[in-house]
Structure formats: structure tokens, C-alpha cells
Chain A
């Protein structure tokens, strides 16, 4: 199942797609570079793939008896390519005869054909189809199809080339050079060049930019076009996490540059967007649907599906009913209570994917609060809550308890953390150690000074997950003598009066994480509240630990992934011990995909590579 990319002139690129049992965990899709001179290498023939988990490269392939390596993660692949580009040849494709295959869909025999249409269901309506200005997930879903960024995430949440075919870092890590593909065109026919990339990033960095993404790019000092297809990012200081932010869609500068950046939001091209992604915008019927059409000139193989329709719903249950009625073919997330029923009733029509969300819910605790500044109290609170019980009851088991800030599927996750299993006795001991020894007639603890052990938690209205969690926590903590008082506020009021001014005792929210484990802005002491009372970063709990500060600084400037994993492992240990947050849990996102849709690559950030999706055709049956 390999497709030759005919448009690529300098190197022949075989784009392979496969989802067999063994590649699923590592790479469902392997980009294989073939040296131009090695003619006659037909991926279908003479290739054997060997799996050896103990080896440096767990996947190896032989071609006509000669061994070649298949690089597992594309980041490493790219750097290795730079080193060994001349030597590297060939390789293999997924349809190896020796490969055990088990995905039940017969996919490996199919050749994707252009055609068909799919309908995706989403709750809510995109706000604005401009990646620089949009922050809502409905907009992102559409923008990810219409626009293309320099790099993009793969199923391991590693970054792979997209508009940029490769890149290199200067030795001091301050100059990042991106080499763009020369075959990328916007949907209006204009070529995507270095100028468009420069325009996109300069707009975000512009003092009059009105969106909410500037802080992700603050390490960039300057973006310079070096010729038509080369862009250089000049950094103030080495900042490794920047790469994961370069996924943002590139805007067509010719449609934007005549308008001042301050007025960008008012342009009509935000409603009828033009990008360079696999799908072209066709129409937007407000409150109803958005229609996207296949971009026949897309620079990678595909897309195959002729038309992608996005239907908008105001209610999750109704969207589910639409799925059952056959109006929509795929759904990003099924409400936890309906997962079992859906899987029972519709297993023949849909494939269900369970993936932990790249984010988590937490209770932020003000570290300077007289009650909460004692780490024993913070630990007691976590011991006093049955988080697994919450996952089982509120999320119907569709979730994972978190003990620090990096989810288990990340390469930076640390497994050896205190799990804080539900243990009211330990919680009581810790509270008594901390001086909360007296118990009042209402069952709430007091200390010697007569202070009452009460904690006010503020959160937003309209989120049943948080409401349920806090109500259960309230009851469980009352058992150990803590009076947890949840207060619910409308989102804008919550921000305006509590969070943005960092005035609270505790609050409950969730983080949606980026691709990089960097968590500097959440936990570095310099990201707290400044003299004017303004938040510098998101360290609104005002956590401060010089050791963590130092590790966070090193994490940002270290390029080597293994070393970074160690650094973030240590950070997780400390956070797990000191608990600036009560880490709660993350949801499992259960998505439903019609069995007619093939070629999808699932990841913790959703279904990837939309250009590879195709609809099963009759002839392929």
C-alpha cells in the first residue's frame, strides 16, 4: 500500500499507510525516502520487515537481502536524514508479507480511491476560521483541514515535516532554519513561499495583534525569509518547545497584508478561508454546516474524500441521536454515560477509539494561603478524595487518574509517582500533624488558633464534570473534617474577578496540553503575580521552588529528548510531592468512526492526517 508522490521532484517519497497490530503502537505511517539513484526498488517486492524490540531500531527491513533501518520517530528520522542523507536508501512499506495483520477491516488490501463524502458532527459553531485568532476547538477542527503549518504532530505526538520538508538548528540553538517544500499552493493558486511564513509569524508577534496566542511565540526575536523557500527563526534564547507551536496554519499573506494587523479580525477571508491544507473551504451555513472540498493540488498524497461536511449541534445528546440515525459518520467524543450503550448497539456500524485526552482536571491551590501553604494539608486533601471512584462514577470509568502534570502516553511521563490512593486515615493523620486537631460540633476541624478548616473553591458554571467532582469531593472531605465550599461563576466573571487577578483560595479547571511537556508558565516562580498584581504566566497558584525553576529552565534549552525526559521526570516527582495542584484525572475521549471510513490515524489529540482518510469503495469490498 504505497503511493508514489509524483509531484516531488528532488526525492521520491513513498507514503505508506498501515495500521497493523505492530505498527499501531509505533508508526501507522512511515515516510520512506528513496535515494534518486536507486532505481528499481519496488516497495511491494523483496522487502521483509523484521520486528526486534530490543534493537536500537526496533523495526528493520531488508530489501533484496540488504538491511535498512526504518526510523521510528520522525523527529529522529529527520535529524538522521540530515546526517546520513546520502547513504540512506530505500526502504520498505507496510504491506510486508510477514507482517501480522489484525485490524479487522480488510484495510490492507484496499487502494484508496478519490470519492465519497463524510459528515463530522461537532457541538458548537466555529468562531473564526483564522488559526491566529481562533482558540475554540470547533474552529481548530476546520482550520486543521483548511490550513497547513510548517510541522505537524504524528500519532506519537512527535513533530513531522509538513510544509517544511526539513529543518536544522544552529549550534547555539538560536537560529532555526526551515526548508519549505516548493510545491505548496494556496487554494487560490498562489504559491506558499517564505514570505507567507514570515507574514504569519510577524502578525502574531505584532504589537497590535488581537488574538490570544502571542505568548507561545515570545521566544522568537525575528523571522527572516532567506530566499523563496527558506525561513529562519532567530531566537532570543534557546527554546526547544517552540517547535511544537510551529504547527499553526500559514496564512496567505497576499490576502492579508493590505489590512492592518489590528483589523485582521474583520476580514471576510476569516469566514471564507483560503489556506494550503488538504481541504478547501466551500460554504458556511451559519448554525448548520460547513462544507469543505477536496484540494486536488495538495502537496502530499491525497486527499481522497471528495467532500467533508461539518454539522453543528447545540446538544450532545441530539448529536448522538444523529449519529445513530446515520446523519453523521464520525464524532469526536461520546458522552461518558452513553459509551457502553453505543458500543453495544452499534459495533457493526462504527469503530470506537478510546484515547486519553491530552489534558487534565485539577484543583489549583493558592500556595500562599494560610491554610493551604502547609504541604501536609495539600497532601491530606488528595488522600481524602477517591479520585478513581470519581472516574468510575462520574466518567463511567472513561478516564485516568493523574498524579502529576504529564499524561502517561507522553514520552516525558514519569511512572514512579506517589499514586495518592484514597486513604482517609492517612489524610486525617496528616491534618492532625499539621495542627488541625480539634473537631467542631459540625464535624469540621479547627486548629489551636481557632481557625476553621474551610476551603473555598471557585469554578465556572455549566460544566457538569466539575460540578459533580466538587460535590463528591465536598462529601468525601467532610468525612475527614474539611469544609470544601464550591462556588460557581459564569466564565467571564470567574476570569475577571478571580483567576485573572489571581485572587482565590482554590479553583477547579482543566488544562488542555500542548505537544511539548514544557510546563514553565504553570510552575516557574517568575510566572506568578508581579508587583502590579498582574499574572505574568499561568502560575496563578504562586508556586515557588528554586529547584523546579532551575529544572524548568533547563528543560526549555535542552535539545536531547532523553535528557529532557529525565528533567521532566524530576519535575513531576517534585510536583507530585508538593502539590501546587490537586491533580485529578483526565477524560478518555471515545470517538466513533463509521466503518466505511478508512485510513485514519488516531492519537491522543484526535484523528490525524485528514488527507489520508478515504471512504471504502464498492470495488474494494
Chain B
């Protein structure tokens, strides 16, 4: 097992380098140029050339990539062309907000969607099942921005306790107000974005769990378990559910990059200071250093997520081993 882990880790390195190389090239080859956005429209060729030199954009692509790669490996992701700030600093101040929101949403999704999926599988074609399935599809079908605005106008504007947006009320701090008011304030701000994100993501997990459970429940070993007179609870939770969880584990692995990626729509609607806006703005402004940092982080997380999913398989499924 540890040999497998080591091997996978070693394989990650060329994969990562490959991904960064390809994304670096695609970004540079794509039309649009940061120099056009930084200089005046009527800047002379010399002025443009000077800015180009200043940011090292005049060098051959492979040199630029090499410089970027070696700096990156030393932990230097460069400065934003537009804001002049270190890229890592810009990401670091937004990252906690994004992870915080996504973590709450994920915990909520799994703790609610898994039991619902199981229950609706056990009562297949009942009214409960139809309601759950219907709601799940509705959640997936509703556009986030529309649902979000609906909640803002329907709830936030009518309820004193629910703010229109933001992450916390200005001036409510641990030092001044203590734990409880801060917690309450945070939850008030979380409520609407969590509902919107949870509602749309819940559908998938519920459906996975339901179909996984339906499949397992008809398996011979479940019938055997029942036949040997086991308690129904043990049949369901020990014999059936553990097996039905396998596909969910795959999703958990893929969930890792999602946890660190912001949604522009949710952030815009709920004025949430996350990574989504930052990354999209960077692409539109051709802020290469920022874009590349996001590419590296994204690629790393996807690879790591897959890796974790593979490890989790071993944990939950004794049939799988990587010896």
C-alpha cells in the first residue's frame, strides 16, 4: 500500500508539470494581451515594448515558462500585472471565505442527502420518493442566480434577521462581542448562499445514493442477510448501505477541488468575497500570473482528489487493494 502511495505521488509530478505547460501555452496563445489593457490605447510601440519588457513578456515562451516554473517551485507565484500585489497574497485573503462556505455546504449536503437518498430508495415509488425525486430535479433545474435573487427579494428584504449579502456585519468582532453574537452573525449571512448552493448540489448526491441503494438492495447477499433472520436495521445499514456508498466516495474525491473553487454567480449574488470573482476577473484582464496560480492550484487539487478517492476505495471496499 505505501509503495502504491509513493508511486502515485511520484507520478503526480510530471502530470502537474504537463498541465501547467499546456495551460501556460493556451493562455499565451489565446487572443488578447495584458499589455493592451495596461497601456493607453494610443500607446506607441516603444511604450508597449517597455511594459512588455518590464513584465518579461518579450521573452520567448519557453523562457517565460521556465522562469515562471522555477519561481513557482520556490513558492513565488509572481505579482499581479494589474494590481501590483503578490498573487499568493491575493489568493490567501479570499481562500478562507471560499473554503468556509463550501465546507458548510458540503457537510450539509452529505448529512442531509445521504439519509434522504436511502429513505427514498427504501420507499421506492411512494409519495415520499416522488416528492424527493421531484424536488431534487427542481433544485438542479433552478438557475442559481434566479433562485438567489428570489430569496433575496422574498426573504432577505422581508426579514430583519437575514442580510442581503456579505460574509459578516462590519464591527461584529470576537474581541468586542464575544463568541455567541459572532456565531449568530455568521450563520445569518451563511443561510441564503448555503440554501441556494445546497439545493442545487443536493440533487446529485441524493440521486446517486438512491440509485446505489436500489441496486444493492436487490443483491443476493441482502436477500441472504434477510433470510438468515437478521434485523432489518442491520440489513440496511450494515450490509446494504456500506456497499451503496461506494459511488459516493468517488464524488467525495472530486469534491476536493470544488471545495477550493469559488462560484462567480453565488459570489456576485450574495456579495461573498471568494475566489470565483478573482479568477474570472484575472482571465478577462489577462492577468497571467494570477491565472496561472489558479491553474496550478486547480490541477493539484484535481490530482490530489483523485488520489484520495483511490485511497478511500481501499478503506471502504475490502475487495480493492493496490498491492
**Which residues of A come within 8 Å of B, CB atoms?**
127-128, 133, 207-208, 210, 212-215, 262, 264-267, 270-271, 285-289, 291, 309, 311-315, 317-318, 321-322, 324-325, 327, 490-493, 495-497, 499-500, 521, 527, 532, 534-538
Q: A210-B54, A314-B268, A318-B165 are in contact. Are A495 and B152 (CB under 8 A)?
A: no
Q: Which of A212, A265, A493 contacts B40 (CB 8 A)?
A: A212
Chain B residues, CB < 8 A from A537: 42
B149 touching A318 by the CB < 8 A rule?
Answer: yes
What are 25 sample pairs from A and B whose C-beta atoms fall under 8 A apart? A208-B50, A210-B38, A215-B40, A264-B84, A266-B79, A285-B273, A287-B94, A309-B170, A311-B271, A312-B271, A313-B165, A315-B145, A315-B269, A317-B149, A318-B270, A322-B165, A325-B157, A327-B163, A491-B37, A491-B284, A492-B285, A495-B37, A496-B36, A527-B42, A534-B42
Closest 10 CB pairs of A and B: A287-B273, A314-B268, A492-B32, A265-B84, A266-B84, A535-B42, A212-B40, A495-B36, A315-B268, A322-B164
Is B207's beta carbon under 8 Å from chain A?
no
- Chain B residues packing against A (C-beta within 8 Å): 31-34, 36-45, 50-51, 54, 79, 82-85, 90, 93-94, 97, 145, 149, 152-153, 156-157, 163-167, 170, 264, 267-274, 277-278, 284-286
What is the chain B residue whose CB lies nearest that of A267?
B84
Task: Please state if B31 and A499 are interface contacts (CB–CB under 8 Å).
Answer: no
Task: List B contacts of A267 (CB < 8 A).
Answer: 84
A321 to B268 Cα, complex, angstroms: 13
- Nearest-neighbor residue (CB-CB) of B46 within chain A: A207
For B83, list chain A residues within 8 Å (CB): 127-128, 265
CA A207 to CA B90, docked complex, whole Å: 29
Residues on A with beta carbons closer than 8 Å to the beta carbon of B82: 127-128
Complex Cα gap A490–B285 (Å): 10
Interfacial chain A residues near B278, Cβ < 8 Å: 287
From residue B262, how far is it (CB to closest CB) to chain A in Å?
A: 10
Complexed CA–CA distance, A315 and B144 (Å)? 13
Q: How far is the CA of A281 from the CA of B277 in the complex (A)?
A: 24
Check A212 against B39 for contact (C-beta < 8 Å): yes
Contacts of A312 in B (CB 8 A): 271
- Shortest CB distance B165–A (Å): 6
Looking at A262, A315, A535, the one whose CB has the most chain B CB atoms below 10 A away is A315
CB–CB A492/B157 < 8 A? no
The reply to whether A493 and B93 form a contact with Cβ atoms under 8 Å apart is no
Quote the shortest CB–CB distance from A131 to chain B (angstroms). 14
- Whether B164 contacts A492 by the Cβ 8 Å rule is no
Which residues of the partner chain B approach A265 to less than 8 Å between Cβ atoms?
A: 79, 83-84
Docked CA distance A579–B94 (Å): 48
How distant is the Cα of A291 from the Cα of B166 in the complex, in angstroms?
15
Contact in complex: B277, A287 (CB < 8 Å): yes
Q: A262 to B271, Cβ gap below 8 A?
A: no
- CB-CB nearest in chain B for A324: B157
The answer to whether B271 and A318 have CB atoms under 8 Å apart is: yes
CB distance from B53 to the nearest CB of A (A): 10
Supposing A287-B94, A322-B164, A322-B165 touch, asked if A535 and B41 sit within 8 A by C-beta, the answer is: yes
Bound CA–CA A212/B82 (angstroms): 12
A536 touches B45 (CB 8 A): no
Tell me the bound Cα distance from A242 to B271 in angstroms: 40
Contact partners of B97 in chain A: CB under 8 A: 287
Measured between beta carbons, the chain A residues less than 8 angstroms from B51 are 210
CA distance A312 to B284 in the complex (A): 19
Q: Cβ of A534 and Cβ of B44 under 8 Å apart?
A: yes
**Residues of the B chain whose Cβ atoms lie less than 8 Å from the Cβ of A496:** 31-33, 36
A264 proximity list for chain B (CB < 8 A): 84
Residues of A contacting B44 in the complex (Cβ-Cβ under 8 angstroms): 534
For B44, give the chain A residue with the smallest CB separation.
A534
A-chain residues with CB within 8 Å of residue B149 when the two chains form the complex = 317-318, 321
Whole-angstrom CA separation of A449 from B270 in the bound complex: 58
Pick from B39, B156, B165, B284 the residue with the most CB of A within 10 Å.
B165
Is the beta-carbon distance between A262 and B164 smaller than 8 angstroms? no
If A128-B83, A210-B38, A212-B39 touch, whether A321 touches B156 (CB-CB below 8 Å) is yes
A318 and B269 contacting across the interface, CB-CB below 8 Å: yes
Q: A287-B94, A288-B167, A318-B165 are in contact. Are A262 and B54 (CB under 8 A)?
A: yes
Which residue, of B50, B84, B149, B264, has the highest number of chain A Cβ atoms within 10 A? B84
Residue of B nearest to A126 (CB): B83
Q: Which residues of A contact B165 (CB under 8 A)?
A: 313, 318, 322
Distance of B143 from chain A, by nearest CB (Å) = 14
Q: How far is the CA of A317 from the CA of B51 in the complex (A)?
A: 38
When distances are taken between beta carbons in the complex, the residues of chain A under 8 Å from B166 are 288, 311
Report A-chain residues with C-beta under 8 Å of the C-beta of B84.
128, 133, 264-267, 270
CB distance from A521 to the nearest CB of B (A): 7
User: Once bound together, how far apart are the Cα atoms of A264 and B51, in whole Å?
Assistant: 13
**B284→A490 contact, CB < 8 A:** yes
B164 touches A318 (CB 8 A): yes
Structural contact, B277 and A314, CB atoms closer than 8 A: yes
Excluding A495-B32, A534-B42, 6 further A-B contacts by CB distance (< 8 Å) are: A128-B84, A212-B40, A266-B79, A314-B267, A490-B32, A493-B32
Bound form: Cα–Cα A493–B36 in Å? 9
Q: How far is B286's CA from A493's CA once the two chains are assembled, in angstroms?
A: 10
* Chain B hits for A493, CB < 8 A: 31-32
Candidates B39, B43, B156, B271; contact of A313 at CB < 8 Å: B271
Which A residues lie within 8 Å of B264 (CB)?
314
Which of A270, A327, A499 is within 8 Å of B164, CB to CB? A327
A278–B118 Cα distance when bound, in Å, is 62
Q: Are B271 and A288 in contact (CB under 8 A)?
A: yes
A214 adjacent to B163 (CB under 8 Å): no
With A286-B93, A490-B32 in contact, is A291–B170 under 8 Å at CB? yes
Q: Whole-angstrom distance between the alpha carbons of A324 and B212 in the complex?
A: 47
Contact A318 B268 (CB under 8 A): yes
Contacts of A133 in B (CB 8 A): 84
Chain A residue numbers with a CB within 8 Å of B41 are 495, 499-500, 535, 538
Instruction: Compute how far the CA of A140 lies from the CA of B270 in the bound complex, rounded to whole angstroms.
Output: 24
A532 touches B37 (CB 8 A): no
Chain A residues with CB under 8 A of B273: 285-288
Q: What separation, in Å, do the CA atoms of A330 and B121 have in the docked complex?
A: 53
B173: min CB distance to chain A, Å: 12
Across the interface, which residues of A come within 8 angstroms of B163, CB to CB?
325, 327
Name the CB-closest residue of B to A133: B84
B94 near A492 with CB under 8 A, answer: no
Interfacial chain B residues near A497, Cβ < 8 Å: 31
Contact of B42 among A208, A315, A521 (CB under 8 A): A521
> Hey, which chain A residues are within 8 Å of B37, CB to CB?
491-492, 495
* Inter-chain contact A321/B36, CB cutoff 8 Å: no
Write the nearest CB–CB distance from B93 to chain A, whole angstroms.
5
In whole Å, how far is A501's beta carbon from the nearest beta carbon of chain B? 10
- Min Cβ gap A219→B in Å is 15
CB < 8 Å neighbour of A212 from B38, B90, B94, B167: B38
A264: nearest residue on chain B (CB-CB)?
Answer: B84
Report the bound CA distance from A313 to B152 in whole Å: 14
Please tell me if the beta carbons of A492 and B156 are within 8 angstroms of each other in the complex. no
When A267-B84, A309-B170, A490-B284 are in contact, do A314 and B36 touch as well, CB less than 8 Å? no
- A262, A291, A325, A535: which has the most chain B beta carbons within 10 Å? A325
Tell me, rounded to whole Å, the shortest Cβ–Cβ distance linking B60 to chain A: 20
Q: Report which of B34, B45, B85 forms a contact with A271, defined as CB distance below 8 A.
A: B85
Interchain CA distance A317-B270 in the complex, whole Å: 11
The docked-state distance in angstroms from the alpha carbon of A499 to that of B97 is: 39
Contacts of A270 in B (CB 8 A): 84
